[in-house]
Amino acid sequence: MIPLYDQVLPQTDNAFYFRQGHHQAPLDRFLSWIIAAFPALVALCALLVRGCRPLLPYRPTWAKPFIEELKEDWKIINHDNKKHIARSTTALLVLVPIGLTLQVVKVAYPSFDQAALLLAVAWAIATLLVAIDRPMTAPVGLLVIIISVLAAQAVLLIKARSNIQIHDVLAVFEIVLAIIAIAIIICMPLRDPQLPNQDISPVYEIPTGELRSPEDNLTLWQFMTVSWMSPLMSLGSVRQLNDEDVWSLSLEFQHRGLHDKFRELKGSVVRRLLTANGIDLIIISLLGILESIASTRSEHNQLYKGEY
């Protein structure tokens, strides 16, 4: 008796059809779901961190920055940069909801898409964070969400390149919006722009020892590229640097502030050292553990290759 699928399908294509038609499509949907779930998970983590922000004042002393510049420490607030920062914030308030709108359209058109729904969750959380915080400084959490959405959209678009449809054009617009939003965020300052900056050297100007290092007032892009060091490097390539050619130390590295803050701590010297350097000790310890694991694994692989 001839099997039913042999009666319906051509004999030469039975196995191929069975694999492609009955297994490949569910596998593709599952992979799309996994890819889209990553930005949603990142966004949920960012939302959780944002929700814990009111608890930050109650964290232990060792978990706080040892030297921190607070707005309450200044009697004079600089309002000159408000206009520029308002433009950046307004741009994010416009771009992120547009990305959410495009993604919601993709959820329902041409049919319900679970992967698109997960990406819509990421866009919705990003919109919520922008609306609540109205960031004046570079929002790192929002940046991570948008980068994850950009990566997921790009992977899904490449994956569907052999079967591009009309609704995939929306993904292209989302990618463009994400790139613009990322560019805006990395050009936003890391320091509150309302704080006075008269004693901080402007970025890319001739260095002088009378002003603090520009690293106290950088944008995220300048911090990542270390481009603020270019004037000092250019001057050093022309002539020998003198003391007056080098900026004063950053606020968190100035000796007087560190000395006074350390004297305010209570307890033994060891306890005060642990309190003052708690975050640094945790980071260094974790990096040391990761380095040990990586080196052990590398040595194991070399021994394994040597045996064979």
Position 83, amino acid: K
User: Residue 8: what pLDDT?
Assistant: 40
The token duo for 200 is 């901080």
Q: Are 168 and 119 in contact (CB under 8 A)?
A: no
User: Residue 74: what pLDDT?
Assistant: 52
**d(C-alpha 177, C-alpha 173), whole Å:** 6
| pLDDT digits 0-9 by tens, 2-55 | 444 444 444 444 444 434 444 456 667 788 889 999 999 999 999 999 999 888
Torsion angle, alpha carbons of 125, 128, 134, 136, to 10: -10
Q: Are 14 and 6 in contact (CB under 8 A)?
A: yes
Torsion angle, alpha carbons of 189, 195, 198, 203, to 10: -10
- The number of beta carbons lying within 10 Å of the beta carbon of residue 207 is 22
Instruction: Tally the residues of the chain.
Output: 308
| pLDDT digits 0-9 by tens, 83-108 | 555 789 999 999 999 999 999 998 88
**d(C-alpha 50, C-alpha 44), whole Å:** 10
| String of DSSP letters for 30-81 | HHHHHHHHHHHHHHHHHHHHHHTGGGGGGS-GGGS-SS---GGG-SS---TT
The residue ranges of the chain whose pLDDT is under 70 are 1-27, 70-85, 161-164, 166-167, 299-301, 303-308
User: Residue 197: what pLDDT?
Assistant: 83
User: Residue 16: what pLDDT?
Assistant: 40
Distance of CA 114 to the CA centre of its chain: 25
Domain ranges of the chain: 4-55+76-186, 197-252, 254-299
User: Residue 83: what pLDDT?
Assistant: 53
User: Residue 281: what pLDDT?
Assistant: 86
The token duo for 4 is 């039913």
SS3 breakdown of the chain: % helix, strand, coil, rounded to 5?
A: 70, 0, 25
**d(C-alpha 274, C-alpha 281), whole Å:** 8
